Amino acid sequence: MTDNVRFRLPWIVAMLTVGVGLIVFRLFSIQFSPNVPYFNDEFRQITERRKEFEPPRGRIYDRRGELLATNDTLYEVNASPVFVTNPEAAAEVLAEKLNRSRKELAALLTGKDSYILIQRPVPATIGGELIALQNGPDRADLNGIALEPIPHREYPGGRLGSQILGFVGYDGRGYYGVEEFYNDVLAGHPVVGVERSVPFDAALNPDPDKGADLELTIDRDIQNLVEETLQSGLQSSGATTGTIVVMDPKTGEILGMASWPTYDPNNFVNEPEANRVNPALSAQFEPGSIFKVLTMAAALESGTVTPQTTYVDSGVVEVGGAVIHNWNGGAWGVQDMTGLLQHSLNVGAATIARMMGPTIFYNYLTAFGVGQVTNVDLASEAAGRLKRPGDPDWYESDLGTNSFGQGVAVTPLQILSAISAVANGGEMMQPHVLLSVNDSGVVHRTEPTVLGRPISAQTARTLTEMLTVSLEREASGALVPGYLIAGKTGTAQIPIPGGYDSKQTIASFVGWGPVDDPRFIVLVKLDRPTTAPWGSVVAAPVFSQLAQRLVVLMQLPPDNVRHALLPTPTPAP
């Protein structure tokens, strides 16, 4: 090697080193400079967007661990047109899978937007096929196309208990029933983050607080029995609509609740909106003769009457200018209080209400919760209506008509809750459907809550005995072989403009048992029956049909002693 070359070599190496260093420095400065496109606001707007990441929604179970509501996955297909490399090819694939116009899709994909929604929701099967194509050999055709999973609520039982459960809309919120009332508990806490679409598939994957699981008081087998029995009762009576509610009077736990018509929460968008509302707690009606249970409870508790108190039923009584007749227009002569209940006498109910006077009568009805929400843990409960002295639309005649359930509005759950105090030794329990909450392994159980004590335990026992005897005499169709049952029938006229419908009625029955240790109380309500108008004829047998299977499901042994059945006279309302 010559001296000249030996002299120049270090300079060459030095110059190359400096040059490489400058290149590296330039690349480094470009990579991390805030002035280059990757870091400027415009580029960030293209590649990033804020997104709310939803946690898995809590599941819903019945009291035996049967799944009532769970989660499935649908998809959202969206795109960043600025990164779509082959709009025509992408449009062709999407048009085939989504059954959309290829021309329309191609126009969307050739824009300059950073984000466009193509379709939401997309079934899981279609979403899976698109994901497979994105991972296949022709994946470049779908550059810039993204599939995002959408939490989707699934109800394995379909229509079973749908008006109790409610549904979850595409916005992720619960509507009606448990889904709405406990939405915040079920939904958990979403996290807002930034999702990046380029230059590589990097997105924030937060771990938001998971929604809590709920265990309901509902028993799936009892719920199924209630719905089947309601359908059978509607068919046998010719009624247009109806409701059945089963509750544990000792705890207020709702074991089953059904109304017709109902809906499928898996397909709520295609169902009539009116069917989503739960009539058991939102539909107000005049209860008719089942209300006499509360009137008699007030009269006994206030000392106005005893079971042996008698009056002469002449078939007519005047209260505040209103003339009141019995359901059959007849006179029943001398009757004691059990006879009043047995024959369901309007004149008798109005007579003892007049004996009590408005202050005592309405104070007791208020104590029973009439005209007030029960605060059940379900959405959309109505309060009913109880007019009281001093209200601008209350008249003295209301004292008479209210005594047998006319001119007062209740919901099925409200009247059942009130009468349950008689079944439960005078204590009225808070009706509820939540049994427990499982929040990430921490279980919170619902404790029974006493709403009030409108009557004493002695009055409750006395009235239960009266209703047991009167039921055996009045409505043998409600009886359950082997079990003592207490209950009352009801036949209510339906108010119309200017008065009451002379042809259509609401037939009802409230009953509970076994009377020595009540484990269930049931309301049967059938609207506008056509085979017969009377609760004793159409509603009482539906109760018996349900109760005979209910005692088996609840594993309740028969009573050791049965009262002899007395002859049954002409059915009363």
Long-range contacts of 549-554 (CB under 8 A, 24+ apart): 549/225, 549/229, 550/222, 550/225, 550/246, 550/520, 550/522, 551/480, 551/483, 551/513, 553/219, 553/221, 553/222, 553/225, 554/222, 554/519, 554/520
Instruction: Decide if 436 contacts 447 (C-beta within 8 A).
Output: no
Place of tokens 């409230």: 510
Pairing of strands 60-61, 213-216: parallel
- What pLDDT is attached to residue 31? 45
Averaged pLDDT for residues 16-21 = 54
Q: Which helix (H) or strand (E) holds 28?
A: helix 3-32
Read off the pLDDT band of 562 (50, 70, 90).
Answer: very low
pLDDT tens digits for range 496-524: 998 999 899 999 999 999 999 999 999 99
Question: How far apart (Å, rounded) are the C-alpha atoms in residues 261 and 145?
Answer: 43
CB contact at 8 A, 184 and 211: no
Q: Sorting pLDDT into bands at 50, 70 and 90, what band is 15?
A: low
| CA pseudo-torsion sign 351, 356, 359, 364 | negative
- Amino acid identity of residue 458, one-letter, is Q
Is 539 in contact with 524 (CB distance < 8 Å)? Answer: yes
**Six-digit token string for 134:** 């994105």
Give the single-character DSSP code of 83. Answer: G
Q: Could you tell me which of 148, 135, 141, 149 has the C-alpha nearest to residue 94?
A: 141
- Report yes or no: 163 and 278 within 8 Å, Cβ to Cβ: yes
pLDDT band at 559 (very low <50, low <70, confident <90, very high): confident
Label residue 189 by pLDDT band (50, 70, 90).
confident
Distance of CA 232 to the CA centre of its chain: 22
Phi, psi of 322 (to 5 degrees): -95, 130
- For residue 534, what are the CA distances in angstroms to 270, 480, 512, 521, 539? 36, 20, 20, 21, 8
Q: What is the rounded distance in angstroms from the CA atom of residue 258 to the CA atom of residue 267?
A: 19
Angle (CA) 289-294-298 rounded to 5° is: 135
- Determine the Cα–Cα distance for residues 188 and 201; give it in Å rounded to an integer: 27
Tell me what pLDDT residue 37 has.
42
Residue 27: pLDDT over 80: no
**Chain-wide mean pLDDT for the chain?**
88
Query: Rounded distance, CA 164 to CA 254, Å?
Result: 10
**Beta-carbon contacts of residue 380 (< 8 Å; ≥ 6 apart):** 176, 180, 277, 278, 281, 282
Distance CA 60, CA 69 (A): 5
Residue 328 near residue 346, CB atoms below 8 Å: no
The C-alpha angle with vertex 234 and arms to 229 and 235, in degrees rounded to 5, equals: 100
Residue with tokens 């000392």: 303
Is the per-residue pLDDT at 289 higher than 80? yes
How far is the C-alpha of 147 from the C-alpha of 86, rounded, in Å? 17
Q: Is 184 helix (H, G, I), strand (E, B) or coil?
A: helix
111/309: higher pLDDT: 309
Q: Is 422 helix (H, G, I), strand (E, B) or coil?
A: helix
DSSP state at residue 111: S
**Rounded to 5 degrees, what angle do the CA atoms 393, 394, 397 make?**
130
Which residues make Cβ contacts (< 8 Å) with residue 566, sequence separation at least 6? 469, 472, 473
Whole-number pLDDT of residue 432: 98
Window from 55-59, 79-83, 198-202, 568-572 with minimum mean pLDDT: 198-202
CATH fold group of domain 220-264+282-437+448-553: Beta-lactamase (3.40.710)
pLDDT of residue 43: 44
Q: Does the structure show a pLDDT above 50 at 120? A: yes
- The predicted pLDDT at position 209 comes to 73
Cβ contact 74:130 at 8 Å: no
* Residue carrying structure tokens 């009281």: 388
CATH 3.40.1390.10 holds for 49-215: no
pLDDT digits (tens, 9 = 90+) for 219-270: 999 999 999 999 999 999 999 999 999 999 999 999 999 999 999 999 998 9
